[in-house]
Amino acid sequence: MTEYLEFEEDFESASIRGGYFTRLWMLPLVVVLVGLLIGFLLSGNVVLKASDSFINSSIQLSTNSNADNALIAMPINSHDRLSDLFTPEVLYWRIKINEWSEKIGLDPNLIATVMQIESCGDPRALSSAGAMGLFQVMPFHFNNSDDPFEPETNALRGMAYLKQSLDASNGDVHLALAGYNGGISVIQRSELSWAVETQRYTYWGSGIYEEASLGLDTSVRLQEWISRGGASLCMQAANRLGLDP
């Protein structure tokens, strides 16, 4: 008991004086504190790296999301320059018109203009003179194995002739339309000598094409054409294509 009391007294006095007991617990405490400090710093780096990684991932994800949205927002056909002013029967062929435009090398608005006044989009159209199909192509433009009413064949034969007419007129659309309707030889002649049908054809076609090229929503010349007889042609085309009148 006495020794215990003496030990207790020595402990208290040693604690007050900072004796060997203080030295014994101070060293581990320092080690623990240093360890905690190092751990904190290391954990801070990990947090910073994790934060940086999260930020970088977020930025990349955001960028990828924008790219995906941009991709989704892109039109189905990026080469679609066809005006919306044509009648629904012609716009029914929109995808094909753009395909023919790229394949043949013609302005899609010019292709649509010819289709508009030739057949209004009726693939089975047939004139009293024997012209056939979407572009009212004459029989002598086809090969023996061709189906004149097959849209692809009709378009390629008709537009090849239109391109030939356009080349002969040095790119003058008015003259090219005259050549398509009355024969390429009329390009070299005075307009006053053209047949009345060819004069009307170039009047309608040139006006519609010009307004389509300007990006207008509606065409005054097209509405005039419809009121002067085009309506019946378009009604026939709508019935053929199964479109609402």
Give the separation between CA 239 and CA 122, rounded to whole angstroms: 9
Give the separation between CA 228 and CA 175, rounded to whole angstroms: 23
Helix (H, G, I), strand (E, B) or coil at 8: helix
- Residues annotated as part of the active site: 118
Which of 119, 126, 124, 76 shows the shortest CA–CA distance to 98? 76
> In this structure, what DSSP letter does residue 124 have?
T
Q: Is the dihedral of CA 92, 171, 215, 205 positive or negative?
A: negative
Residue that the structure tokens 């215990």 belong to? 4
**Longest C-alpha distance within the chain, in Å?**
144
